[in-house]
């Protein structure tokens, strides 16, 4: 068994289909863990090391570039190249390979002194964790949202009733926590899980204002997986077979967290600042939009191939739809470049401009569903005109199926393989989960969009309107 997979044999409580499972042995995790293992092992491959990692002089070892703190635009672009490499290896289908969470940790570490006044212990704790995570190549997941029990505003802070995560006991050694969080993408095979609330909290709710790092094998932590979408066959379900990032609800049943991993407690002000920390946010979401661009490009490649195979690419409206996909790719690409070019030095770290990053991120919540729709509109019934198995193309009935399953520009095998890929991408449970993911992974898109208006510098609007109207 390989190193990464071996490291997950640590007594963690992962639940699937009513049973506590060993994910290193369970077939539902095989494809995903094999993919992650192959990506993580690139750090030991002399040819790939410089692409995805950097040599850390203090540690005297190669570490992943998500831990890298760029000092100028060239170093920021090198970081981007590392993210692109993993995104391309997985066609953007794996969003939580830890590069996002590691970037967050790196950003908080870089900006740690800004929090000393709010909590004198925070800088030392995040510094220690940053170095451990880097040295041990730790896989990190982040989970923030509370379980969806009752979202009506007046009920929201009834912590016990709603299962909101809270500290229930403090000792000299650490704290005990109870409650639940959703959704922990990749948590079942992470080493550590960073836990903090997404909801804004004020002083009156300070008993919920914590940031903790919990090892995935902590006693009392139960990770309840959603239904697995992993498929065994790489031929019939090429994406589901390799890239099913598992999501789980995390239940903390009297979980002990030592003080050195309680980054913050009872501190809504520090927590609010950490959540919008400019270095952490910019570095982490830079990774997210780089991955998005690769994924949109993959969607366009599939749509284009489908149109070609069935001879639909001659129609103007199909060309228009394909052009729309290209506009989406170029827009995100342009925003990545704009973010990098308009970056600035903050605490000696060169960070990309968050305004462009946020624009790309919010656009992604619309672009991805739009790409799904375009694949549906181009593929149409062909997405269902698929044999249950590739075997139908070579078995007894093959003489007939070979004739009726072919495309204008493809054999029956070629057309079927491509359309099965497209169905896996947009129609399978795996594909539907991806659409939901892109809409929601970084919060409610409605709030994100409204937030752009709230934070926009409106001085120029006032100046433009001044000759006509002076009300604002
Ligand atoms: C596939 C997937 C993977 C994810 N992975 C992660 C992860 O790894 N880590 C993580 O932390 N989170 C993850 N998330 C969760 C994500 O953060 C949430 O889905 C997102 O923040 C939206 O919250 P919610 O799902 O609780 O929706 P809700 O907040 O329950 O929203 C439900 C509906 O109610 C409306 N609503 C709710 N509250 C309000 C309000 N106050 N005002 C107006 N309207 C309201 C919403 O607009 C929406 O229409 C993931 C989500 C998905 C779908």
Residue 414 belongs to domain with CATH number: 1.20.140.10
pLDDT for the residue numbered 395: 86
pLDDT for the residue numbered 355: 96
- Clarify whether residues 313 and 173 are in a common domain: no
- Clarify whether residues 399 and 421 are in a common domain: yes
CATH at 177: 2.40.110.10
- Within-domain flag for 468: no
Which ligand 1 atom minimizes the distance to the CA of 247? 3
Give the ranges where 73-158 is alpha helix by DSSP (H).
73-89, 99-110, 122-135
Pocket flag, ligand 1, residue 40 (CB < 6 Å): no
- 78-100 residue pLDDT tens: 999 999 999 999 999 999 999 99
pLDDT for the residue numbered 471: 72
pLDDT for the residue numbered 212: 98
Q: How many CA atoms lie within 13 A of 330 on its CB side?
A: 6
- CB 27, CB 228: distance < 8 Å: no
pLDDT for the residue numbered 234: 85
- Clarify whether residues 242 and 285 are in a common domain: no
- Within-domain flag for 233: yes
Pocket flag, ligand 1, residue 197 (CB < 6 Å): no
Span from the CA of 441 to the centroid of ligand 1 (angstroms):
8
Q: Which residues of the chain have pLDDT under 70?
A: 1, 153-162, 472
- Clarify whether residues 110 and 231 are in a common domain: yes
- Among 275, 290, 325, identify where a domain stops: 275
Distance CA 273, CA 101 (A): 17
- Clarify whether residues 220 and 172 are in a common domain: yes
- Within-domain flag for 250: yes
- Within-domain flag for 470: no
- Among 219, 254, 275, identify where a domain stops: 275
Q: Is 91 annotated as a binding residue?
A: no
- Within-domain flag for 161: yes
Span from the CA of 444 to the centroid of ligand 1 (angstroms):
5
pLDDT for the residue numbered 160: 64
- Clarify whether residues 265 and 403 are in a common domain: no
- Can you tell me whether residue 332 is helix, strand or coil? helix
- Within-domain flag for 146: yes
Q: Which domain holds residue 373?
A: 278-459
- Within-domain flag for 465: no
- Clarify whether residues 254 and 302 are in a common domain: no
- Clarify whether residues 286 and 418 are in a common domain: yes
Distance CA 74, CA 422 (A): 36
Q: Is 149 annotated as a binding residue?
A: yes
Distance CA 99, CA 106 (A): 10
Cα 121 to chain centroid, rounded:
29
Q: Is 150 annotated as a binding residue?
A: yes
- Among 242, 258, 275, identify where a domain stops: 275
Contacts for 17 with CB less than 8 Å, ≥ 6 apart: none
- Clarify whether residues 203 and 295 are in a common domain: no
Number of structural domains the chain divides into: 2
- Clarify whether residues 310 and 245 are in a common domain: no
- DSSP conformation letters of 136-157: TT--EEEE-BPPSS---GGGTT
- Within-domain flag for 296: yes
- Clarify whether residues 75 and 176 are in a common domain: yes
- Clarify whether residues 98 and 161 are in a common domain: yes
Pocket flag, ligand 1, residue 145 (CB < 6 Å): yes
């Amino acid at each position: 068994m390989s190193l990464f997979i071996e490291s997950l044999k640590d007594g963690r409580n992962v639940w699937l289909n009513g049973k506590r499972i060993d994910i290193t042995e369970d077939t539902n995790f095989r494809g995903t863990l094999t993919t992650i293992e192959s990506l993580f092992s690139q750090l030991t491959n002399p040819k790939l090391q410089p692409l995805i990692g950097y040599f850390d002089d203090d540690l005297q070892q190669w570490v992943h570039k998500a831990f890298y703190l760029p000092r100028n635009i060239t170093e920021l672009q090198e970081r981007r190249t590392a993210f692109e490499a993993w995104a391309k290896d997985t066609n953007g289908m794996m969003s939580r390979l830890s590069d996002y969470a590691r970037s967050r940790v790196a950003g908080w570490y870089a900006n740690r002194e800004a929090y000393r006044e709010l909590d004198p212990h925070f800088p030392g704790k995040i510094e220690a964790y940053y170095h451990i995570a880097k040295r041990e190549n730790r896989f990190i997941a982040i989970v923030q949202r509370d379980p969806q029990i009752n979202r009506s505003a007046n009920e929201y802070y009834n912590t016990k009733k709603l299962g909101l995560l809270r500290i229930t006991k403090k000792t000299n050694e650490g704290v005990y926590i109870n409650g639940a969080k959703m959704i922990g993408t990749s948590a079942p095979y992470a080493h550590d899980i960073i836990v903090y609330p997404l909801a804004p909290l004020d002083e009156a709710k300070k008993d919920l204002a914590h940031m903790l790092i919990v090892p995935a094998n902590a006693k009392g932590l139960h990770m309840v997986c959603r239904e697995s979408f992993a498929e065994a066959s790489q031929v019939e379900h090429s994406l589901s077979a390799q890239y099913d990032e598992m999501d789980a609800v995390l239940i903390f049943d009297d979980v002990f967290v030592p003080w050195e991993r309680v980054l913050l407690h009872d501190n809504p002000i520090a927590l609010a600042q950490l959540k919008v920390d400019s270095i952490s946010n910019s570095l982490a979401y830079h990774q997210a939009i780089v991955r998005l661009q690769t994924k949109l490009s993959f969607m366009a490649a599939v749509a284009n191939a489908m149109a070609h195979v069935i001879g639909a690419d001659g129609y103007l409206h199909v060309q228009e739809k394909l052009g729309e996909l290209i506009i989406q790719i170029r827009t995100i690409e342009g925003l990545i470049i704009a973010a990098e070019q308009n970056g600035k030095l903050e605490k000696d770290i060169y960070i990309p401009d968050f305004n462009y990053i946020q624009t790309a991120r919010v656009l992604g919540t619309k672009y991805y569903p739009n790409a799904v729709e375009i694949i549906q509109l181009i593929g149409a019934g062909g997405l269902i005109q698929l044999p249950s198995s590739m075997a139908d193309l070579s078995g007894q009935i093959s003489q007939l199926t070979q004739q009726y399953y072919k495309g204008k520009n493809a054999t029956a095998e070629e057309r079927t393989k491509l359309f099965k890929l497209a169905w896996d991408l947009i129609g399978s449970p795996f594909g539907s989960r991806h659409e939901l993911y892109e809409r929601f992974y970084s919060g409610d898109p409605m709030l994100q969009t409204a937030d752009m208006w709230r934070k926009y510098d409106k001085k120029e609007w006032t100046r433009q309107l001044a000759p006509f109207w002076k009300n604002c």
